[in-house]
C-alpha cells in the first residue's frame, strides 16, 4: 500500500508512539503524537485533562488534533488509544492514509501500563478490560494488523514493506 501518511492505532501501551518514532527515523518522515499535541496545547498531561475536564472534553480535543493533521503529508501519526474507536475519526483516518493496528494481548497491555496514574482509563482494571474488549471491533477495521508483542524493529520492517519503503 503506497502512502504518504501512516496512522498507528491500537490500545494504550501497544507501542504506537515508540513505533511511530522508529518508522519516522527510518524514512525521514515527521512524527506526530495526538496525545502529545493535546498535552502541549493544554499545557497539562492527559491524566489531568481527564480528571479536570472529563473524557468528553478530551475526545473533542482529540478530534480537533486529528483534523489539524489532515493536510499534513509524509508524516507518521501515533493516535491515542481511543482515537480510532470513534466512528467519525476512524472514517477520516481510513480515507486519509494507511492505518496499521498494533495489536497487543490484554495481558501484555497490563504488564506495560505503569501504575503511576498517567493512564486514566487504566485506573480501574475491570473497566479497562471492558474497554479493551469494546475497542477490538474498531481496531479490526484498520488496513493492517500487526503483532505488537514483536520487537519494534520487526514491526518497523513490516510497516516499511507494507507501505513500499
pLDDT for 116 = 59
For the entire predicted model, the pTM comes to 0.93
The Cα 88–Cα 100 span in angstroms is 17
> What is the structure's pLDDT at 121?
57
Tell me the domain boundaries of the chain: 5-113+141-160
Quote the pLDDT of residue 141.
Answer: 98
Whether the CB-CB separation of 90 and 84 falls below 8 Å is answered with: yes
Check residue 111 and give its pLDDT.
83
Instruction: For residue 11, give the nearest of 158, 157, 151, 129 by alpha carbon.
Output: 129
- The C-alpha R_g of the chain, in whole angstroms, comes to 15
Helix, strand, coil percentages (3-state) for the chain, rounded to 5, are 55, 15, 30
Separation CA 47–CA 141 (nearest Å): 28
Q: Which stretches of the chain score pLDDT less than 50? A: none
- Tell which CATH architecture fits domain 5-113+141-160: 3-Layer(aba) Sandwich (3.40)
pLDDT of res. 79: 98
What gap in Å lies between CA 131 and CA 15, rounded to an integer?
18
What are the grid coordinates assigned to 47, written together? 491524566
List pLDDT tens digits, range 79-118.
999 999 999 999 999 999 999 999 999 989 888 876 655 6
Amino acid at each position: 500500500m503506497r502512502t504518504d501518511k501512516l496512522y498507528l492505532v491500537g490500545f494504550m501501551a501497544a507501542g504506537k508512539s515508540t513505533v511511530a518514532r522508529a518508522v519516522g527515523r527510518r524514512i525521514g518522515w515527521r512524527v506526530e503524537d495526538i496525545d502529545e499535541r493535546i498535552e502541549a496545547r493544554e499545557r497539562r498531561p492527559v491524566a489531568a485533562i481527564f480528571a479536570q475536564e472529563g473524557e468528553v472534553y478530551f475526545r473533542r480535543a482529540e478530534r480537533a488534533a486529528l483534523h489539524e493533521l489532515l493536510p499534513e503529508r509524509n508524516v507518521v501519526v501515533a493516535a491515542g488509544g481511543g482515537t480510532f474507536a470513534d466512528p467519525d475519526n476512524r472514517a477520516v483516518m481510513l480515507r486519509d492514509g494507511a492505518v496499521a493496528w498494533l495489536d497487543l494481548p490484554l495481558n501484555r497491555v497490563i504488564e506495560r501500563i505503569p501504575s503511576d496514574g498517567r493512564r486514566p482509563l487504566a485506573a480501574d482494571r475491570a473497566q479497562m478490560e471492558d474497554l479493551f474488549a469494546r475497542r477490538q471491533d474498531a481496531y479490526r477495521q484498520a488496513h493492517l494488523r500487526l503483532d505488537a508483542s514483536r520487537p519494534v524493529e520487526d514491526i518497523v520492517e513490516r510497516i516499511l514493506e507494507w507501505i513500499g519503503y
